[in-house]
Structure 1
Amino acid sequence: MTGDPTSSASDSGVADERVMVKPGYLAGPGDPDTALDDFLFEHKQWSRHRNGDKTTVAVSDCLTARIQLDHHPVEPGIRWTIAAYESPVGELAWRVDCDHRTPHEIALAVAGKLSDTLAYRSPVVQGEALWGQRPTRHMLLEELRESDWQDVSTHGEMAFQRPDATAGLVRWDEGAFHLDPGGQDHPADVCLWGGPPRGGQPMTEWRAYFSKHTPTRLITAALHHLTDPLSATRRRSEIPAAHRGRLEIRSGTGQARMQAAARRTKPSPPSEDRHPAPPAEPPAAARPVRRST
């Protein structure tokens, strides 16, 4: 055998080095299993059920919401599903599906906001925390217009994207936004997407779908990761090679450890108070509150 016997170990060490990656929405899916473990450690009100090595399902203590992680999704399959039901034995109210390339921070931003909201006992407070006080379209526009995103809407859909075309939002509102941007709103499917453009054109490397009736503040919780990008912690080997030219990557071992420690000691929330095509109809399966908008 020839070559430096220490080179493979050295290369492995570099690949396993934890680094801080910005923007996090281009950092790849990361380690979803560990991310869910951390989430459930922090949010004690969810019970875990594992189906061998296929899926893990977490069910809220109110039995009306669930988080499902597919450990081995078939490309281009769904890795994360977050859903809510009308009652513990009721019909699906809404669901969020994140594909196999979606950064786990996007999915868990939705799950975290939902978990914090379900901790409130008052239905009035819970509804306010889920929906806000204005129609969904207006709240999305407020988030988008506070950023520098570009309006690329068409006759059939409301669509915005970052100036560098690395992330965007599509809302299939049957042309309502085009006809009357400030007018009456109605429920519509939403997709958030991210990925490095190719040939100057947007490319959807990952997608997160929000069905009709998904609470507004769950969508904006995920959208905020795109309009005001945060750093994400990754092993070097987890960062998609095609994205690296658009990323700021810096050593972050100490910071990563501090973040992990903070996650495990953070107190629970208070117990009171072109564009991708539309997704197919989801199978029946989650509504803590449905509101017509």
Structure 2
Amino acid sequence: MTKDIEAPPLTDTERSAAEARNPFTLTDANHTARREPETVPAYAADAGDHDALLDAFLDTHGDWEKWRTWSDDTTHAIHESQTLRIERIHETPDHETAWTIAAYETPVSDRMWVLTATGATPAPVMQELLDHLADGGGWDTAIGAPVDEKTVTVATQPLSDAGWKHTVDGRWIRWTSPAGDAGVQFDAVTAQHPTQNLATWTIWAGPDPDRPSWTLTASPHTPSSLLASLSETLAHETGTRHTTIAGPERRTSLVTTPPTAPAVAAGRSH
């Protein structure tokens, strides 16, 4: 009787290749893992395909034009007025800046406001941001006007209405989700600085503010309507997250052994 030889466990490289072919089921000799979708708050959703989000945005909004740089690593999208611009850096690590969005009074003036988002920013958050730009909300700002209590209240009202915890710690004003896994922070000192490009708002989600899964930052004069739209998404919208679930061995899975090179037939005539 021929003795069955147990297949060796998959290496990391082989597992990645198998997941690429079939992302929902993966089996080795010891266990089965399934990537199942679950509905979660928007701030905890998967990042999805940011490049596809940008492509869809450009396909449906003819007043924006796509520009490629000398390198394929970056794409620029510029509004026909040339006063609202998007920079998208491809293949960006989760914790590094993947998006920079800026608005200008004129095509050659300084920035009115600037916003950045890291590579792991959830798809629902990025979608809401792009939708707001498409609706013409990028110019809804009062350049030079002080960032006062009314501005902050408008930007964060959806969070307050949803019961997010509001705290004040010196210069920092914070709103934290009921679960403590997301938040918005406003720097009252930076808000009064004459430079328009300093990060005054920080939106984050993850284990805690010091170890965020993703962050989004915005300068003082970022439109309060844009920030309010993002707050609404954080507080009330949902998204999808795929979680790997391990289970007992199932030999009927699509992937059961490491991929091997094709065998060379013995006795082949030449």
> When the two structures are superposed, what TM-score results if normalisation uses the length of structure 1?
0.62
Task: Give the unaligned 5+ runs of structure 2.
Answer: 9-14, 26-33, 192-197, 246-270
Aligned twin of 2:86: 67
What is the aligned counterpart of 2:113 among 94, 111, 114?
Answer: 94
* Structure 1 residues 19 and 156: alpha-carbon distance in aligned structure 2, compared to 1, 3 A threshold: same
Partner of 1:25: 43
Of 66, 88, 95, the residue aligned with 1:76 is 95
- Given the alignment of the two structures, is residue 57 of structure 1 paired with residue 68 of structure 2, yes or no? no
Contact 1:82 1:111 in 2 (8 A): no
The Cα of 1:80 is off from its aligned counterpart by 0.9
Identity, in percent, stands at 25
Q: Which runs of 5+ in 1 are unaligned?
A: 177-186, 245-293
Structure 1 CA distance for aligned equivalents of residues 38 and 92 of structure 2: 26
How far off is 1:108 after superposition? 3.3
2:24 equivalent in structure 1: 14
* Of 129, 147, 157, the match for 1:110: 129
Structure-2 residue corresponding to 1:138: 153
Provide the residue aligned with 1:191 in structure 2. Answer: 202
Tell me whether 1:41 sits opposite 2:59 in the alignment: yes
Q: 2: CA distance between counterparts of 1:10 and 1:70?
A: 23
The alpha-carbon distance between structure 1 residues 127 and 230, as it changes in their structure 2 partners (threshold 3 A), is: same
How many angstroms apart in 2 are the aligned matches of 1:159 and 1:9?
A: 39
- Contact kept, 8 Å, 1:109 with 1:221, in 2: the verdict is yes
Q: Which amino acid is 1:216 matched to?
A: S
Q: Please state whether the residue corresponding to 2:135 is helix, strand or coil.
A: helix
Instruction: Indicate how the Cα distance of structure 1 residues 141 and 59 shifts in structure 2: closer, same or farther if over 3 A, else same.
Output: closer
CA distance in 1, matches of 2:98, 2:190: 30
How many residues are aligned here? 213
The superposition leaves residues 227-275 of structure 1 with CA deviations (integer Å, 9 ceiling, x where unpaired) of: 113224x6x4xx6x6xx9xxxxxxxxxxxxxxxxxxxxxxxxxxxxxxx
Corresponding residue number in structure 2 for 1:218 = 226
Out of 220, 235, 238, the position equivalent to 1:227 is: 235
Higher relative strand content: 2
Match among 157, 162, 168 for residue 153 of structure 1: 168
Shift of 1:90: 1.3
| 87-96 or 109-118, which deviates more | 109-118
Deviation at 1:98, TM superposition (A): 0.4
Structure 2 counterpart of 1:159, one-letter code: R
Q: So what's the TM-score if we normalise by structure 2?
A: 0.67
Q: Cα RMSD between the aligned structures? A: 3.6
Post-superposition offset of 1:84: 0.6
**Structure-2 change in CA distance of 1:118 and 1:76 (3 Å):** closer
Whether the aligned pair in 2 keeps the contact of 1:136 and 1:216 (CA below 8 Å) is yes
- Native 8 Å contact 1:78 1:99 kept in 2: yes
